[in-house]
Structure 1
Amino acid sequence: MSSAALMSPPHTVRVGDAVTLHILQTERFKTARLSISAILPADQVLSPRMTLLFGVLRRGSRRFPSQLHINRRLDELYGATLTIRNFHAGDRQVLGFTAEMLDDSCLPAADRGLDILGGVADLLAGLILEPQTDEDGILRRRSVEQEKQALCDAILADRNQARSYAEGRMRHILYGQEPSGVSLFGRPEHIRDVTAEQLTTLWQSFLACARLEVFYVGKASPETLEAHWRAAFAALKPACRTLPPTLPHAAPLVPRRVDEARSLSQGRLCMGWSSGITQSENRQLLPAAILFNEMLGVMQDSLLFRHVREELGLCYYCDSAFFGSKGVLTVSCGVAPANRTAAENAIRTQAEGVVAGSFTAHDLRLAKASYGNAFRQIPDSPCALENLWFGRVLNGTESAGAGFADASDAPESRLAQVLAVDRRQLMRAAARFVPDTVYFLGSEPGAAHGAEDDGLSDCDCPDEDEED
């Protein structure tokens, strides 16, 4: 895919009142990627129930009544894969299905009539619109009970994944009562109380008030995609299609500090800063804020990696993330409990050093090169291509194929803005980040240690609400 093709918005078409179809047509890949996502308000009660609902929907439809039947169908479609996607996007929950499949143009001549894309689209539509039910029309009670147990097990198992658990706790503490702080999975005792009847009512309400975004990356034509989806979803008439708003996060008057005792040889330190720099406020500082994050803890030779990990040897990993929808920057660090205070001070020193201008011209060049290289690699991944444009739909900066209300929101403009940030602009943006929250998961120095995970993620293409 050429650079010009990457920067062109997807072909976007409304399929009835419920579905918006975004088509990124490219000859670059031999596989195709298709996702369907609902954008919902993050809510303490409804979000865990929606997570449970989609787990139940994934278990079977009227045409494919069990996971065995679904898996057989995926095998027939040349090993297509189907996963649930569920993540925060600012104050919203994004929930749906993602499928990856062989592109129909790459089929052997004998199988050219198989229509993999059509088969996957029909499967996805059936899971959402025609789930398996009991004779009385209630979602199959056995599937509901099985999924409740599976979700409760997953919630409890997350405590054994120290890094993901700590980052989830950090999110909850930092955002507090804001929707961004809501757990999308809930608590086991609340999940166990949900009935099949309640979940059926929730499913019916979801269909009556759904905003569905479908993204496709592959070789198929817009006409082919539109035909597949219009037949399935044209009848839906949602009552509301307005995106739930995301409000900037405001820093507390006094920074919060929370320690949670756990017998771990490698503790988890999470630190958060608030800036007020978002898509809706102080937007002129957004490119510099992105570059600040890149220099601090994203690029390969970041300040945190170089000084905190390599020079001082205080931690096992140390990286940062900037969430542009909320104006929040976080640092995640794996550290021995005995080094916790030293690591916290060293991290803060590096962040404050950017404000003071103690970074070099070489650091600035490295950060720009790192951001530019990552941006130019986007065409190499269907997942990254989707995330680039889906993020702009979530931010409200691009919709319905009408382009951008502000030309500075276009991807190529954002890249140029970041690469044009000078030293003074970077220092000015960094100064807006004020300490918000510090969370530590681990034992006191000298305490006995238990087993733990390695702190690494095996997901090479995560769905995140980080600012790109």
Structure 2
Amino acid sequence: MKVTRIELQPGVWLTAVQTKKFKSSVLGARFLTPLTAETAACNALIPMVLRRGTQSHPDLESISAVLDELYGGSLEPVVRKKGETQCVGFVGSFLDDAYTLEKEKILEPAVALLAELIGNPYTQNGTFCPEYTKQEKANLTDQIRAQVNDKQQYAQMRVVAEMCAGEPFGVDKLGSEPAVEAITHQSLWDGYQNLLREARVELYYCGSADPDRVQAAFGPLLAVLPKDGNRTGLIRPAKKKAPKQPRRVEEALDVTQGKLSMGFRTNTDAWDEQYPALALINAIYGGTTTSKLFMNVREKLSLCYYASSGLMKYKDVMLVSSGVEFDKVGQAEAEILSQLYKCQTGDFSDDELEWARRSVVSTLRTTLDNQSRLEDYWLGQGAAGLTEGPDELAERVEAVTRAQVVEAAQDLTLDTVYFLKGRE
């Protein structure tokens, strides 16, 4: 697997992963821009409306017909958050050229369609189609409202919003309902012109084609991007210290099981040399099925239906997520913090350390075998301006010492406790 990263023009980067491991190839074009409450909803809506049609293919049916001709490929809008950067655009999957029946080229026409979606969208009177905008606004509003349906994910989203209130990281990648409601087809068009000129662009390819051919194939897409743009630089989120007393937030909904989410400041993110040690302590603490939270809080003491921890790689945040009985929330929180104290004092066995190391290393190396995870990994690295591959990060994890793991644990500080309880 060969990874080539090149700046095609100022602020426009291509990551090309050449491999014969997969029968499909993956294409991506994502606009990277600072995440703000004012622009998040507009930016999230843009790829959804772009996907509705182009000048040559003005509706979903005609775009689907083109994709069918490309061996049933897909090209879908994406909205993601990497640290305090919002990433919006398209990711597509197509049959790799090596497997076409008549040795047809798929890469070039697939990129041409991608370029058409971005550079020649279907418009009416010089702006986005009002009807398409109205329909996709309704769909985006439905997505925002639906987030409450998965209570575990909702609790995590809420603890982040409370913990990082006033920080860009606290903004939902989809924006808010009022912000969506305020969008017009004209304001959406104006927002898109700003995005075209000012957002960094991350292009991506993973497949059997060599990097020179990939670079040439993206030519039509480069041609539709403004040349006079002043594209956003890299964003490294500021680190914050936890308050002396953790913030506490309770919310009541119609739930039969409580959701306890706890946000910790880590003092470490993906840019830091000690990040591999943080990844290991997260695995020891709550990131695996052999972790302290799983084995003790869930299995041994039966205080939670589930209990796990996870890192926000591009932000100095770790979240603990648990499902608890309403009357056991105090016990559960105390035991979750007790297990953290054990990590901070080095009270874990060599076996626990090595089980965690094997888990983290395995997860990183199996990323190389999964197209979607690989694309998401390189998007994050591109957003951060980092070039380290999953295998290289795995090697650094292999070299982490026990002392470094304990040191990383000692930087973990409780910031916010969010509890989702049932209505009285």
TM (norm. structure 1) is 0.85
Q: Number of aligned pairs? A: 422
Q: Is the 8 A contact 1:175 1:249 kept in 2?
A: no
**Please, which runs of 5 or more residues in structure 2 have no aligned partner?**
none
- C-alpha change, 1:123 and 1:413, in structure 2 (3 Å) is closer
1:311 to 271, 295, 300: 300
Which residue of structure 2 lines up, in the alignment, with residue 89 of structure 1?
Answer: 82
Which residue of structure 1 lines up, in the alignment, with residue 14 of structure 2?
Answer: 21
Find the aligned partners of 2:389 and 2:42 in 1 and give their Cα distance: 36
Which residue of structure 2 lines up, in the alignment, with residue 278 of structure 1?
Answer: 269
Find the aligned partners of 1:19 and 1:52 in 2 and give their Cα distance: 22
Which residue of structure 2 lines up, in the alignment, with residue 372 of structure 1?
Answer: 361
2:401 to 388, 407, 422: 422
Shift of residue 241 of structure 1?
A: 4.1
The two structures, once aligned, show a CA RMSD in angstroms of 1.9
1:229 to 206, 218, 221: 218
2:113 to 123, 126, 132: 123
**Please, which runs of 5 or more residues in structure 1 have no aligned partner?**
399-408, 448-468
1:438 to 413, 417, 421: 417
Find the aligned partners of 1:286 and 1:22 in 2 and give their Cα distance: 23
Find the aligned partners of 1:104 and 1:417 in 2 and give their Cα distance: 35
Find the aligned partners of 2:89 and 2:179 in 1 and give their Cα distance: 22
- C-alpha change, 1:250 and 1:166, in structure 2 (3 Å) is same
Counterpart of 1:68, as a letter, is E
Shift of residue 195 of structure 1?
A: 0.9
Which residue of structure 2 lines up, in the alignment, with residue 203 of structure 1?
Answer: 192
Shift of residue 103 of structure 1?
A: 0.7
Which residue of structure 1 lines up, in the alignment, with residue 55 of structure 2?
Answer: 62
Which residue of structure 2 lines up, in the alignment, with residue 402 of structure 1?
Answer: none
Find the aligned partners of 1:43 and 1:70 in 2 and give their Cα distance: 32
Shift of residue 167 of structure 1?
A: 1.4
Q: Secondary structure at the match of 2:274?
A: helix
Q: Secondary structure at the match of 1:100?
A: strand
The reply on whether 1:132 has 2:122 as its aligned counterpart is yes
Q: Secondary structure at the match of 1:388?
A: helix
Q: Where do 1:193-342 residues align within 5 Å?
A: 193-234=182-223, 236-237=226-227, 238-280=229-271, 283-342=272-331
Which residue of structure 2 lines up, in the alignment, with residue 161 of structure 1?
Answer: 150
Which residue of structure 1 lines up, in the alignment, with residue 345 of structure 2?
Answer: 356
Q: Secondary structure at the match of 1:377?
A: helix
Most deviating of 42-51 and 215-224: 215-224
Q: Deviations over 1:294-346 (max 9, x none)?
A: 11122231111111111122222221111243221111112222322222122
Counterpart of 1:245, as a letter, is R
Q: Which has a greater percent of strand?
A: 2
Most deviating of 228-237 and 169-178: 228-237
- C-alpha change, 1:72 and 1:268, in structure 2 (3 Å) is farther
Find the aligned partners of 1:354 and 1:189 in 2 and give their Cα distance: 43
Q: Deviations over 1:125-166 (max 9, x none)?
A: 1111111111x1111000011111111122122222212221
Q: Is the 8 A contact 1:372 1:419 kept in 2?
A: yes
Find the aligned partners of 1:264 and 1:191 in 2 and give their Cα distance: 28
1:101 to 79, 94, 99: 94
The reply on whether 1:49 has 2:42 as its aligned counterpart is yes
Most deviating of 76-85 and 389-398: 389-398
Which residue of structure 2 lines up, in the alignment, with residue 142 of structure 1?
Answer: 131
Q: Deviations over 1:98-125 (max 9, x none)?
A: 111111211123xx33x32222212211
Shift of residue 411 of structure 1?
A: 5.0
